[in-house]
């Protein structure tokens, strides 16, 4: 494509969501070289397209490539098996305007949102955890408790020391109980006693140890209540974490999960925590 190319006029239609009325806003695109793109507003019938708006548009469109006819060129990224034009639904060797591209990308986003959205409306976001597993900073710890008497409680306590130079992100707190159980979580407690619990790396080959301190069946007082819920009999329930939720434990902070057997007879209970530690 030769530069400079003649001015290209385009029109955007803005919709008023309250009335459904369309407002045309026309603008002109010019370019003196392949690294510069100039956008000038021809008219603004509703006072929306101000200088800040045009500046934002320019920052995004400066990196666009146009063909010899001034139409937007959709290239094929490296290592993509299918041409991007097919992925976006344009067909082979077709060119589309900015408006067409926006429509297609909106459709793709909508479809991806549907694919990645669970039944409860949450969105799948395991990429961060997977990355931390690969880096060697993801861990888990679990403990089972047999024949917990009716009305008795068990717990696991995770503490991130004040000098670990890491932030702990708890992405899973899982409870299994053969009887109905009441589950509570706390932070900022005063602990005592308990038995040491070892963390297991989710990437053992990394050789990186967890710097969090774990104990179970501690005695504690005080603290801030974080949540309270019920686990039905003979079920496994994710108390914290899942698709998008995580709980951040900064240096010098803690997390305790306590499970109380609320059934009329002894129950077996198991607790598992999954987390990653982000170096400061």
Selected residue with higher pLDDT from 55 and 274: 274
Task: Looking at the structure, tell me whether residues 185 and 209 fall in a common domain.
Answer: yes
In the block, tokens 């929306």 appear at 48
Number of domains the chain is built from = 2
Could you report the per-residue pLDDT of 247-263, keeping only the tens digit for each?
999 999 999 999 999 99
Task: Looking at the structure, tell me whether residues 178 and 255 fall in a common domain.
Answer: yes
Mean of pLDDT values over 93-106: 62
Task: Looking at the structure, tell me whether residues 142 and 262 fall in a common domain.
Answer: yes
Of 94, 116, 138, which one is at a domain's C-terminal end? 116
Domain-embedded: residue 257: yes
Task: Looking at the structure, tell me whether residues 165 and 270 fall in a common domain.
Answer: yes
Q: Which phi-psi region, left, alpha or beta, contains residue 180 (left: φ > 0; alpha: ψ -120 to 50)?
A: beta
Mean of pLDDT values over 160-171: 95
Mean of pLDDT values over 178-196: 96
Q: How many CB atoms lie within 10 A of CB 102?
A: 12
DSSP state at residue 43: -
Mean of pLDDT values over 190-212: 96
Mean of pLDDT values over 206-215: 97
C-alpha closest to that of 149 among 250, 235, 68, 265: 265
Task: Looking at the structure, tell me whether residues 136 and 28 fall in a common domain.
Answer: no
Task: Looking at the structure, tell me whether residues 143 and 100 fall in a common domain.
Answer: no
Alpha-carbon distance of 1 to 16, in angstroms, equals 38
3-state secondary structure of 38: strand
pTM of the model: 0.57
Domain-embedded: residue 122: no
Task: Looking at the structure, tell me whether residues 234 and 268 fall in a common domain.
Answer: yes
- Spacing of C-alpha 159 from chain mean position: 24
Mean of pLDDT values over 65-74: 66
Domain-embedded: residue 157: yes
Take residue 53 and report the two structure tokens written for it: 């708006």
Alpha-carbon distance of 172 to 142, in angstroms, equals 11
Mean of pLDDT values over 68-82: 58
Q: Which phi-psi region, left, alpha or beta, contains residue 121 (left: φ > 0; alpha: ψ -120 to 50)?
A: left
Domain-embedded: residue 267: yes
Of 78, 94, 116, which one is at a domain's C-terminal end? 116
Domain that holds residue 55: 5-116
Selected residue with higher pLDDT from 150 and 13: 150
Q: Give the pLDDT confidence score for residue 230 in this predicted structure.
A: 94
Mean of pLDDT values over 40-50: 53
- How much is the mean pLDDT over the chain? 79
């Amino acid at each position: 494509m030769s530069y400079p190319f003649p001015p290209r006029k385009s029109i955007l239609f803005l919709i008023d969501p309250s009335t459904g009325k369309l407002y045309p806003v026309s603008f002109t695109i010019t370019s003196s070289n392949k690294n510069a793109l100039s956008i000038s507003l021809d008219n603004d019938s509703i006072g929306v397209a101000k200088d800040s708006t045009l500046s934002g548009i320019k920052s995004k469109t400066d990196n666009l490539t146009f063909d010899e006819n001034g139409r937007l060129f959709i290239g094929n990224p490296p290592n993509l098996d299918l041409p991007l034009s097919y992925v976006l639904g344009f067909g082979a060797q077709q060119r589309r305007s900015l408006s067409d591209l926006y429509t297609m990308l909106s459709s793709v986003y909508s479809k991806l949102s549907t694919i990645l959205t669970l039944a409860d409306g949450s969105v799948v976001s395991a990429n961060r955890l997977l990355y931390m597993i690969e880096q060697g900073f993801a861990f888990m710890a679990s403990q089972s408790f047999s024949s917990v008497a009716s009305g008795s409680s068990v717990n696991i306590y995770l503490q991130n020391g004040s000098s670990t130079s890491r932030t702990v992100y708890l992405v899973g707190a899982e409870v299994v109980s053969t009887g109905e159980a009441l589950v509570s979580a706390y932070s900022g407690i005063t602990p005592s006693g308990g038995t040491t619990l070892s963390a297991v790396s989710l990437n053992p080959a990394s050789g990186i140890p967890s710097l969090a301190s774990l104990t179970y069946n501690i005695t504690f007082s005080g603290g801030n209540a974080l949540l309270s819920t019920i686990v039905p009999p003979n079920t496994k329930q994710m108390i914290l974490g899942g698709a998008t939720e995580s709980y951040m434990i900064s240096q010098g902070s803690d997390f305790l999960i306590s499970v109380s057997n609320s059934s009329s007879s002894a129950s077996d209970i198991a607790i598992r925590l999954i987390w990653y530690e982000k170096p400061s």
